[in-house]
Amino acid sequence: MKVIKRTHNQQEAKIIVGFLQANGVEAELLDGAINSVLPIVAGGVRIAVPDDQEPKALSLLKNADAGDVPPSEEIQ
């Protein structure tokens, strides 16, 4: 597994993982057991993917940041 992103916002991390999973990437939260009343997590939440899926995951996140995300059924 390779950590591809860290965020201090637990909700943001869950959205990112859901987005990656919807596009065929086996993403997971490494710090998902952290439960907090506040959505901000000290130390951050790590998002990891299998090593061989890192390029696809990073490409998806880069395109999403640029606002260029095709519907999930178009992504191979």
In this prediction, residue 52 carries a pLDDT of 97
User: Ramachandran region of residue 68, left (φ > 0), alpha (ψ -120 to 50) or beta?
Assistant: beta
For residue 49, the model assigns a pLDDT of 98
pTM: 0.77
Strand runs labelled E in the chain: 2-9, 28-29, 40-49
Q: pLDDT tens, 62-73? A: 999 888 766 655
Say whether 35 sits in a helix, a strand or coil. coil
Per-residue pLDDT band at 16 (split at 50, 70, 90)? very high
Collapsing DSSP states into helix, strand and coil, what is residue 43? strand
Domain boundaries, the chain: 2-66
* Amino acid letter, residue 57: A
Token pair recorded at residue 35: 């439960």
Which tokens sit at 38? 């506040």
The residue written with tokens 């939440």 in the block is: 45
Tell me: domain 2-66, CATH 3.50.30.60, correct?
no
Give the mean model confidence (pLDDT) for residues 25-45.
72
pLDDT at 37 (0 to 100): 55
pLDDT of residue 4: 96
